[in-house]
Chains A and B, each alone.
Chain A
Amino acid sequence: MIGGLFIYNHKGEVLISRVYRDDIGAVQLPVSVHVVVTSLWPCRRNAVDAFRVNVIHARQQVRSPVTNIARTSFFHVKRSNIWLAAVTKQNVNAAMVFEFLYKMCDVMTAYFGKISEENIKNNFVLIYELLDEILDFGYPQNSETGALKTFITQQGIKSQTKEEQSQITSQVTGQIGWRREGIKYRRNELFLDVLESVNLLMSPQGQVLSAHVSGRVVMKSYLSGMPECKFGMNDKIVIEKQGKGTADETGKSGKQSIAIDDCTFHQCVRLSKFDSERSISFIPPDGEFELMRYRTTKDIILPFRVIPLVREVGRTKLEVKVVIKSNFKPSLLAQKIEVRIPTPLNTSGVQVICMKGKAKYKASENAIVWKIKRMAGMKESQISAEIELLPTNDKKKWARPPISMNFEVPFAPSGLKVRYLKVFEPKLNYSDHDVIKWVRYIGRSGIYETRC
């Protein structure tokens, strides 16, 4: 298991050091590296220094997130310029160590915001307290912030009543460790965000070479008590199952349903129930969390089409014409549109004319960047550019990198629709109808490229 956990700043100075197991002490530094350490923990310090010398101060780029120095393994993740490193001498579950390090980052962010040297120094007592709680002898324990915040407060502990204490412990160890009991809101409200990133690689002729959507459903819940929720979407498997009863509905809803390649869920979702009935039921954590992630590859609505036309005029000139077409309902508006047209390395000058938005040649990026603030559906726009080239004797032809695009649209390119989110709280007197629900769809470009 994890033998120790260290947090370093960008200089390699230790900000936090928590050793769980003695065995990690014996890391010997390479002889050539002479480090003067004025410390009482000579052995532990060696592990600390070994990582600094070999990873943080290493000249070249990080070649692996797992480093083995003198039979000791170091796992690290970096957040801005802070390094978190877990150290072990055993054959630990590597995936678990990384998941834990990410979780550790989440917990710290939830407590004091951005992970920075200043924040860490300001909260080092809290961090030690957290580390004591969420990692015992190197075994990760309950690390849900919802639960942790009930008893690690840094506000000075009020002497809790016996009921309060047992409530805390039963929650920390309980089956729903992510939510505490007794939450009350005057207004029961929930927000669902369907966030998708659509990825495309298209041939110059407009043929889709590969396309997929990776999506997330993020929920913000402000609900009283221990609400039982059930989430429904237009999952093809579910719709078809229901459709068996009423035959005419299959034809109608069949088109609107989507095939999900794979999905993963937050730990609050009952996986065995999803496996057997494909229903998504859960008791949500309080506040914001990621309910599910999914991936689809079929019937993706591509919000934009890029039609490139590149013509070489002689050896010193290129003519580029790019048309973009928006392919969604006219009533919807796409935002933050950016088209990036690569230019050859020997470009000497560019003249651009565009119908809409602003376009600029950026020599440092070797590209023409065309930005449009907003664009409605079923519209098209065009840019044409003349690129002057310096004559070179380089025989190698220009590789013509693909044209890439960025945008944001207010719908889900996968076609995913939230059908319902039902809330039941049997103990409190509010019903599903009283809950105010908000649903929002945002589709963003991932890697959205058209070859030219």
Chain B
Amino acid sequence: MTDSKYFTTTKKGEIFELKAELNSDKKEKKKEAVKKVIASMTVGKDVSALFPDVVNCMQTDNLELKKLVYLYLMNYAKSQPDMAIMAVNTFVKDCEDPNPLIRALAVRTMGCIRVDKITEYLCEPLRKCLKDEDPYVRKTAAVCVAKLHDINAQLVEDQGFLDTLKDLISDSNPMVVANAVAALSEIAESHPSSNLLDLNPQSINKLLTALNECTEWGQIFILDCLANYMPKDDREAQSICERVTPRLSHANSAVVLSAVKVLMKFMEMLSKDLDYYGTLLKKLAPPLVTLLSAEPELQYVALRNINLIVQKRPEILKHEMKVFFVKYNDPIYVKLEKLDIMIRLASQANIAQVLAELKEYATEVDVDFVRKAVRAIGRCAIKVEQSAERCVSTLLDLIQTKVNYVVQEAIVVIKDIFRKYPNKYESVIATLCENLDSLDEPEARAAMIWIVGEYAERIDNADELLESFLEGFHDESTQVQLQLLTAIVKLFLKKPTETQELVQQVLSLATQDSDNPDLRDRGYIYWRLLSTDPVAAKEVVLAEKPLISEETDLIEPTLLDELICYIGTLASVYHKPPSAFVEGSRGVVHKSLPPRTGSSESAESPEAAPSAGQAAEQPAVIPAQGDLLGDLLNLDLGPPVSGPPLAASSVQMGAVDLLGGGLDSLMGGSGFTAPGPAAPAGMGAPLGSGLGDLFDLTGGVGTLSGSYVAPKTVGAISMDLVLTNKALQVMSDFAIQFNRNSFGLAPAAPLQVHAPLAPNQSVEISLPLNTVGSVMKMDPLNNLQVAVKNNIDVFYFSTLYPLHILFVEDGKMERQMFLATWKDIPNENEAQFQIKDCSLNADAVSNKLQGSNIFTIAKRNVEGQDMLYQSLKLTNGIWVLAELRIQPSNPSFTLSLKCRAPEVSQYVYQAYDAILKN
């Protein structure tokens, strides 16, 4: 066969010739001509002019020719919709052909022709094919429903194809089941709210049975679908896991990864004390290691996923360090990923081996890889204290190589090591200083300048070194300029006599000759600070720095949990949620891990954790951001490698730290304040890190801090504020205003601060509120943004308030009314929560809740459990119905909430939790 000849005919008049051949009587010639047409189509030539002639060839009993014509049709039908109609008859006829291969081919091709007029004709044949006696036709028709849905979703619903598709899940043929699952999953993705894939224990059982019998691809479809199921309890989760684990031995890596996804997800529900939990952990390691012997592209996918798994459950692979050692012939993308995982797994037990490897890597040829290896050595030093000394000496060896980028990278990481272990390795500074001239990257220059400034008292010629940088001040990047400014100020504070001139010079460069507002502002602040109160300046600029933490580039936990739900998919390769790279409605649904049930330990998943816990945990897990704000005073260097997306909230949390003592006890874990006289922050605008340095600075000079405390009584809503003047000036003329918020909260009276507030004086105020203000939905719903104004400036902060302050006194519903409303609210609006560790009995619960305007309407005792039926009403008239299940022996209560506005359920639950535990 020499089909390649078709690619070479490029004569003029070709179309004309082809036309003649297509209309030839000889079958062979016709077929040749169609092949030529397809070849032209492939290389991008326009052969649409031949449409009628090609379609004429459709009526043939030669299957090969038919397929070619169909291929042509799929490509050109859209551009020639009117002529495409000519093909309809043949399609419809082919759908009735005695040969199942032809029936399937016809229905498959018709689904690919995206012409409205044709899709109309598709419905009847498709309906028949979905019920065809031959499984090959049925499996093709199942996919065709998804195709049709993509063209015309309404049509698919109107024609009832979705129900037929659902029936196919119970088909006797496993491949039909698999394709039906794939089609339904895809359709369900574009209708997040619909209950299309109505997964229940029965259908799950069917899927698990089909899993053992279908092709490798079908197994992937089914496993991916299973991963979306939320088991009722830990027992069901375990039984599904048991039936999925055999897939871990499949030769197809995608089957293995999809199985890992199901297991990782359902494992969340299993109690850690369970024997099975341990067994499962052990079973997960070997298949993950085996994935590394696959082809490099798959290794890459596997490594990106292992990176997530190691962050979520480090115990799985903690003994498998060696398999991540880089092989000399690995492609670069595999090498870089392995390196990342090696550092995550580094511990005291294996650090020697890891370091030996990293040292090898630092002498490789690929620049990116070498840089990353050098950085990795630094990260090891920070992570495993015992190894720090060895790491530093390794880094010094590397600096001796004088390879430019190695030296620069090493200096950047040594700076981090200094910060982690102050006053330990400063003896190496001399060696570092030798390499000053070779630094040409901003990050390395900034790191070096920081080191010189920080240790100015130990470096004899610190002033000369810094002065040399100052010469080309305007050509430096902002990062270096800011650092140079701070370093020289530090130097001045340490050696004031010799460096006065230098500091003058840098301050004037920064304030007068620069048009960078950050630099200018910082210059002014230093200037004023130095001129008004040098002692304070010393306290601010040379303040003790917070230690940097070990793990700098962990993925933010809620994102990590979401990505765990996407193991094996592109999202897990990019480490981004699908919404970041998928257009349209698909993939917008956020997936989350199931809450742990059946055990008394506190839940790990974010939606079950009370917000207070979350707020407390967050800064600890995202140290990169917290550090950034907390330490900007002395350091303008960004976190080594951090994932900025979705971190806006964490920046806010960092700001809380920043203000230190003034604010640390925020009741209910809600709160956020960031006042600062010079802060041009807009209402509700999250703090950019660029502002952070300003806040920190002013924190020393003078500031006002306000804190909001949730009222402890219900009835009249009020807000308790403590205002402390930390500025040097007297404050007066206070006023307060709220931004529009979800429930229209507004001050009912003006803010009364009777006497002017002297420096360092505090005043407590209770501000009555009402709910007649303007309404705007906030995220989170209970977020309140507040502005306090005085003679100096406007101060902005935001806070979260507990929802129960909004529960009104006439929230008791009639019994009949309750029953009717409960039935009336659709099931999708029902939300279930666990209230853990509550030891009250039903009556005590009822009384306690009544105090907060949650009214018990009925109480029943079913099989030893107390069921409380309750109602409450919000200030804006929203009713919330609740069913609270209390088992005498179990400290966990189950709370089911039904509401026409389901978005409040989460906050109502938080209120319940807070009231019951108060």
Residues 73-106 of chain A: 1 if any B CB is under 8 Å from the residue's CB, otherwise 0? 1011100000000001111111110111110000
User: Are B63 and A157 neighbours in the complex by a CB distance under 8 Å?
Assistant: yes
B217 nearest in chain A by CB position? A140
Tell me the nearest residue of chain B to A7, going by C-beta.
B42
Q: Is the CB of A132 within 8 A of B108?
A: yes
A100 vs B252: C-alpha distance when bound (angstroms): 10
> Is the beta-carbon distance between B139 and A95 smaller than 8 angstroms?
no
Is A68 in contact with B574, judged by CB distance below 8 angstroms?
yes
A-B contacts, 17 listed (Cβ < 8 Å) = A40-B79, A62-B332, A65-B300, A75-B297, A92-B569, A95-B257, A96-B258, A123-B3, A125-B64, A128-B67, A132-B105, A166-B100, A169-B101, A262-B249, A267-B216, A295-B286, A395-B400
Q: Establish whether residues A91 and B586, one from each chain, have CB atoms under 8 Å apart when the complex forms.
A: yes
The interface residues of chain B lying within 8 Å CB-to-CB of A48 are 44
Of chain B, the residue at the smallest CB distance from A131 is B71
A351 at interface, CB cutoff 8 A: no
Query: Quick check: B3 and A121 within 8 Å, CB to CB?
Result: yes
Q: Is the CB of B134 within 8 A of A169?
A: yes
Whole-angstrom distance from the CB of A176 to the nearest CB of chain B? Answer: 9
Name which of B156-164, B172-180, B840-848 contacts chain A: B172-180
Q: Who on chain A is nearest to B34 by CB?
A: A125
- Cβ-based interface call for B302 (8 A): yes
Please state if A272 and B287 are interface contacts (CB–CB under 8 Å).
no
- The answer on a CB contact under 8 Å between B572 and A94 is yes
Of the residues B297, B322, B571, contact of A65 by C-beta under 8 Å:
B297
- Tell me the bound Cα distance from A395 to B252 in angstroms: 51
Query: Is B42 a contact partner of A137 (Cβ separation < 8 A)?
Result: no
Contact (Cβ within 8 A) A136 B44 = no
Instruction: Write the chain B residue with the least CB distance to A297.
Output: B322
A-contacting residues, B293-350, CB 8 Å: 293, 295-298, 300-302, 322, 327, 331-333
CB contacts (< 8 Å) of A39 on chain B: these are 44-46
- Docked complex Cα distance between A162 and B401 (Å): 76
7 tightest Cβ-Cβ pairs between the two chains A and B: A262-B286, A121-B4, A169-B136, A95-B254, A275-B246, A96-B254, A91-B578
What residue of chain A has the Cβ atom nearest to residue B135's Cβ?
A: A173
CB distance from B814 to the nearest CB of A (A): 48
**Is B856 among interface residues, defined by CB-CB distance under 8 A?**
no
- Of the stretches B140-148, B232-240, B514-522, the one at the interface is B140-148
Residues of B83-117 whose CB lies within 8 A of A: 98-101, 104-105, 108, 111-112, 114
Proximity bits, A131-155, B CB within 8 Å = 1, else 0: 0100011011111100000010010
Interface size on A, residues (CB 8 A): 100
- A261 in the interface (beta carbon within 8 A): yes
Check A295 against B46 for contact (C-beta < 8 Å): no
Which residue of B144, B296, B298, B586 contacts A95 across the interface (Cβ within 8 Å)?
A: B298
Contact among B71, B99, B135 with A170 in the assembled complex (CB-CB below 8 Å): B135
Could you say which residues of chain B place their CB within 8 Å of the CB of A118?
Answer: 4
- Contact: B135 with A66, CB < 8 Å? no
Shortest Cβ distance from B253 into A: residue: A95
**Partner-binding segment picked from A11-19, A352-360, A419-427:** A11-19
Size class of the contact patch on chain B: 35 or more
Is A263 interfacial (CB-CB < 8 Å)? yes
Q: Are A96 and B220 in contact (CB under 8 A)?
A: yes
Task: Pick from A40, A63, A144, A154 the residue with the most CB of B within 10 Å.
Answer: A40
Q: Distance in Å from the Cβ of A9 to the closest Cβ of chain B?
A: 11
Contacts of B582 in A (CB 8 A): 71, 89-91
Cα distance A143–B216 in the bound complex, in angstroms: 9
Check: A242 CB closer than 8 A to any chain B CB. no
User: In the complex, how many angstroms separate the beta carbon of A226 from the nearest chain B beta carbon?
Assistant: 15
Return chain B residues, CB-CB under 8 Å to A17.
42
| Count of CB-CB pairs between chains A and B under 8 Å | 274
Q: Mark A47-70, 1 if CB is under 8 A from B, else 0.
A: 010000000000001111110100
**CA of A142 to CA of B286, assembled, Å:** 28
B254 touches A99 (CB 8 A): yes
Tell me if B120 is interfacial: C-beta within 8 Å of chain A: no
A210 proximal to B (CB < 8 A): yes
Q: Is B2 an interface residue (CB 8 A)?
A: yes
Say yes or no: A94-B570 contact (C-beta < 8 A), given A13-B43, A17-B42, A139-B143: yes
Q: Among B134, B179, B296, B297, find the residue whose CB has the most chain A CB atoms closer than 10 A.
A: B297
Assembly CA distance A212 to B576 (angstroms): 35
Given contacts A40-B48, A262-B290, contact A96 B568 (CB under 8 A): yes
Complex Cα spacing A290 to B293, Å: 15
If A95-B302, A139-B143 touch, does A14 touch B43 (CB 8 Å cutoff)? yes
A264 on the B face (CB < 8 A): yes
Find the A residue at minimum CB distance from B176.
A173
Q: How many Å from the CB of A125 to the closest CB on chain B? A: 6
In the assembled complex, the CB of B331 is this many whole angstroms from the nearest CB of chain A, namely: 7
20 more A-B residue pairs beyond the given contacts A45-B44, A102-B298, with a C-beta to C-beta distance below 8 A? A38-B45, A40-B46, A62-B333, A65-B300, A91-B566, A94-B301, A95-B254, A95-B298, A96-B258, A124-B38, A125-B35, A156-B64, A165-B100, A169-B137, A262-B287, A264-B256, A264-B290, A272-B246, A275-B245, A275-B249
B540-575 vs A, CB cutoff 8 Å, 1 = contact: the mask equals 000000000000000000000000001011111110
Say whether A91 contacts B46, CB under 8 Å: no
Contact A37 B44 (CB under 8 A): yes
Tell me the nearest residue of chain A to B261, going by C-beta.
A93
Q: Tell which of A93, A125, A142, A399 has the most Cβ of chain B within 10 Å.
A: A93
Indicate whether A41 reaches chain B with its CB closer than 8 angstroms. yes
Within 8 A of A (CB), among B201-219: 212-217
Residues from chain A with Cβ under 8 Å of B213 in the complex: 175
Given contact pairs A39-B46, A71-B581, A96-B254, A128 touches B4 in the complex (Cβ within 8 A) = no
- State in angstroms the CA–CA spacing of A21 and B257 once bound together: 25
0/1 interface trace, chain A 19-39, chain B, CB 8 Å (1 if under): 111110000000000000111
Separation of A61 and B369 alpha carbons in the complex (Å): 13
Q: Does B809 contact A (CB under 8 A)?
A: no
Q: Does A159 contact B (CB under 8 A)?
A: yes
Is A310's beta carbon under 8 Å from chain B? Answer: no
Chain B contacts for A169, CB-based, 8 A: 100-101, 104, 134-137
A169 to B582, CA, bound (A): 36
Of all chain A residues, the one with the shortest Cβ separation from B298 is A98
A279 CB to nearest chain B CB (Å):
13
Q: Report Cα–Cα, A214/B583, bound state, in Å.
A: 42
Docked Cα-Cα span, A90 to B585, in Å, equals 11
A76 vs B295: C-alpha distance when bound (angstroms) = 12
- Known interface pairs A121-B4, A168-B101. Does A93 touch B569 (Cβ–Cβ under 8 Å)? yes
A265 touches B300 (CB 8 A): no
**Which residues does chain B contribute within 8 Å of A64, judged by CB atoms?**
300, 333
Asked if A1 is at the interface of the complex by the 8 Å CB criterion, the answer is yes
Q: Which residues of A contact B3 (CB under 8 A)?
A: 121-125
Give, as a whole number of angstroms, the nearest-CB distance from A93 to chain B: 5
Closest chain A CB from B780 CB (angstroms): 26
Tell me if A299 is interfacial: C-beta within 8 Å of chain B.
no
How far does the alpha carbon of A236 sit from the alpha carbon of B578 in the complex, in Å? 44
B75 near A41: Cβ-Cβ < 8 Å: yes
Type the 1/0 row for A171-200, where 1 means its CB is closer than 8 Å to any CB of B: 011110100000000000000000000000
Does B42 lie within 8 Å of A166, measured CB to CB? Answer: no
**A132 engages B67 (CB within 8 Å):** yes
Contact B101 A91 (CB under 8 A): no
B185 to chain A, nearest CB (A): 10
In angstroms, Cα B331 to Cα A96, docked, is 20
How distant is A267 from chain B, measured CB to nearest CB, in Å? Answer: 5
* B64 and A157 contacting across the interface, CB-CB below 8 Å: yes
Is A1 touching B136 in the complex (CB atoms < 8 A)?
Answer: no
Query: Is B384 engaged at the interface, CB distance under 8 Å to the other chain?
Result: no
Residues in B1-18 with C-beta less than 8 Å from chain A? 1-4, 6-7
Evaluate contact between A173 and B175: CB separation under 8 angstroms. Answer: yes
| B272 on the A face (CB < 8 A) | no
> What are the residues of chain A within 8 A of B251 when measuring CB–CB?
264-267, 290, 292-293
Asked, given contacts A13-B43, A14-B43, A168-B101, whether A137 binds B64 with beta carbons under 8 Å apart, the answer is no
In angstroms, Cα B247 to Cα A151, docked, is: 30
B297 with A98: CB separation less than 8 A: yes
